[in-house]
Structure formats: C-alpha cells, structure tokens
Amino acid sequence: MDTRWHNNTAIFYARKFLRTVSGPKPLLKRVLLTVQGMGLGPDIPTYNFMDPILECKNLTHHYGERLIYENLNFTIEKGKILGLLGKNGTGKTTTINILTGYLRPTSGECKVFGEHSHSISPATKARIGFLIEGHIQYDFMNIHQIETFYSQFYPNWKPEPYFELMSKLKVGPKQKISTMSCGQRSQVALGLILAQDPEFMVLDDFSMGLDPGYRRLFIEYLQEYAKAENKTIFTTSHIIQDMERLIDDCLIMDYNRVLVQTPVRELLDKFKEYSFTDINKNGDLPTGGPIQNAERSGDLIRVFSFENHSTVESYIKNQGFATDKIIEKNLTLEDAFIGLTGKY
C-alpha cells in the first residue's frame, strides 16, 4: 500500500469533516469505513482478566545476521506501569514495534490481551492506545476541532482527560496545532489517546520536547490518571528521572539481553554503590561475584552491587585491595541504570 496516498486521503476527509461537523455526517461514515483496521470491531475476544495484559516469551529478533536480543521474557500485570530502559540500539523500539504488531519477531511470542501481537483482532486494537515517537497530527485543525474529529472513531470516547490536560498546558480550544511547539504537540497526541479510554497504553518517549516544569506537571497528571482509572502502561523515555517518578516496574536492557526486571522501589532498596580509595594503586577491580560493575577515576573506585556491605568488603579485600573505608551510597534510578549498563 502506498502510505502517502493513504495519509492524503485521511487529510482530505478530515478537511471535509470540518465543513460538515454541525450537520449530518455521511462523509464521516466513509472515513469510518476506511479505518476499520484501527480497531472498531463489535466483539471483544475472550480474555481472562487474571492473565497479564502483555506477555512476551523467549522473544528473539534479528535484523539480518545482527542479533538484537535473544529469549526476552517479561510480563505486564493489569494496572501496572512498566518502563523499558536501555541504551541506544538495545532494542527498545524493536520491542515496541513487536508488541504493537508492526514487526514480527524472529522467534518466540508476544501476546496482548491473550492474542498474538502480529494478528491482533480489531476489537482488541480498540483497547490499546499507542503514542509513537514522531507522531503525526492534522496541524490545520485547532484543539477543539481535532478532539471533535477523533471522537467520532472511538465508541468509548471521554473528552475530559483531553481538555484537562490541555488546560494544564495552558492551551486554548481555538489554538491551532500548527502554532504549537514539538512538546505541546506530543501532549495533544497523548491527550487524544487518554480520551480514547484504552485499557492498555504504549507510550514511546512520552515527554519528548517538554521543558522540566511541564514534564513534572504531566508526569504527575498521568500517574494520577493511570491509578484512578486502573490503566496499564508500557513506556520508554531517555529521561530516566521522569521514569523514576512515573513507573512501578522497570525492565533494563543491555545489548542482546535483559539485565533486570523488578519493581523500581525494590531495585533502589537493594542495588547500591560502594566507593573506596585504592591505597596501593592495584589497578582495576575485577567484576564478577557480587560486583555487577566497577569504574575507576584516579585512585577512587566505585563498584555497584545487590549484595550487602560486608559481602562487598570481603570481595574487595580478597582481590588484594587495601582500603581504610568503603562508603555505601543509595542510588537514583539513573545512577542504577548507569551502574548496571556502564557509562559507555
């Protein structure tokens, strides 16, 4: 299919919609017929509500001969917010493309509401909201017009979250999309997803383009909304401080593998930094045993571990390092991420 033709057709009908919105909507019915694949089927497949919303088993993917990851396993329970963290090129976007059905894995399976992600039924698609990085919007519309347009496609439409978010961003109903910043546009897209009232949301780089103040405001709003409405969210972001405020669980990936999947609070309670001065200048401390990672800056050595102080101290001494004091430090999620994956 020529996607340029498909997009131009949607814009053509969208413009006509604006001229006919106050009266009967025969044109809108034609638009609806062209978007059945968005997920508007009348029947919802059988789904056990005790099962995970998302379940990936032994997920493996290659691009040609290049392995992205192998035997990736994780689940998302209903009502939880899971954040996927990883360096560039570790497979975050690949994972999102697989679970939203845009990409079929080399092997393994990914199920959403019990259905294989590459063959999700229209009724199940209607239960999923997807914010894609580099989202596309009809920028000739204003805030009110685009909400009215989108509302016709979703039977469970709830405009309140959309307009509440726009109010928090101080965006008026008559402001055109074309006059907005990148960050404001991303929030318009997200507000439209919230108004769809999906059970499961996939948010790729949700705070892209927002300044620190608005990021904090938005994260607080999204967290309150998700908990109040019992929504399930799978999200990524390069701004890990935002993730720490928002998510319940984290999945941290490195190249070709998963390093950890755990509740954020549990990770930060158990994973620590220990630092000491290398008195005898022995060189680098070998990793392994209780040590997940180690880095050196001059005579100062920092190590990262899930083990307690005495276990780490014994390991350091057994490696022949003399030190008068080992300092234990609690970590932020960003510190823990770097401690697990390394700086480079």
Pairing mode of beta strands 327-329, 272-277 = antiparallel
User: Sheet of 115-116: strands edge to edge?
Assistant: 66-76, 54-63, 107-112, 115-116
- pLDDT per residue, tens digit, the chain (344 aa), is 433 434 444 544 455 555 555 444 444 444 444 443 444 444 444 556 678 999 999 999 999 999 999 999 999 999 999 999 999 888 998 999 999 999 999 999 999 999 999 999 999 998 999 987 666 678 899 999 999 999 998 889 999 999 998 998 888 899 999 998 887 888 898 899 999 999 999 998 877 777 788 888 888 889 999 999 999 999 998 889 889 999 999 999 988 888 999 999 999 999 999 999 988 777 788 888 999 999 998 889 999 999 999 999 999 989 888 888 999 999 999 999 999 998 76
CA–CA dist 87, 253 (Å, integer): 8
Burial of 6 (0-12, 13-18, 19+ CB in 10 A): exposed
Question: Domain segments of the chain: what residues?
Answer: 1-34, 41-143+199-270, 271-341
The pTM assigned to this predicted structure is 0.81
Q: Return the pLDDT at 24.
A: 44
Q: How far apart are the first and last CA of the chain?
A: 41
CATH number of 41-143+199-270: 3.40.50.300
Backbone angles phi, psi at 66, to 5 degrees: -85, 120
CATH number of 271-341: 3.30.70
Yes or no: say if 135 and 185 are a contact pair by the CB < 8 Å rule.
yes
* Nearest-10 crossing angle of helices 159-168, 212-229: 160
Yes or no: say if 183 and 175 are a contact pair by the CB < 8 Å rule.
no
Q: Which of 159, 149, 180 is nearest to 19 (CA)?
A: 149
Cβ contacts of 334 within 8 Å, gap of 6 or more? 240, 241, 244
Q: Return the pLDDT at 135.
A: 67
Neighbours of 259 (CB within 10 A): 16
Yes or no: say if 40 and 186 are a contact pair by the CB < 8 Å rule.
no
Q: Return the pLDDT at 344.
A: 67
CA–CA dist 40, 127 (Å, integer): 9
Q: Return the pLDDT at 26.
A: 44
Yes or no: say if 241 and 210 are a contact pair by the CB < 8 Å rule.
no
CA distances to 40, 44, 155, 171, 274 from 14, rounded to whole Å, are 18, 28, 18, 22, 59
CA distances to 130, 182, 207, 221, 304 from 233, rounded to whole Å, are 10, 22, 14, 14, 29
Conformation bin of residue 56: beta by default, left when phi > 0, alpha when psi is -120 to 50: beta
CA dihedral 319, 321, 325, 326 (to 10 degrees): -40
Burial of 167 (0-12, 13-18, 19+ CB in 10 A): exposed
Question: What amino acid is encoded at 277 in this protein?
Answer: T
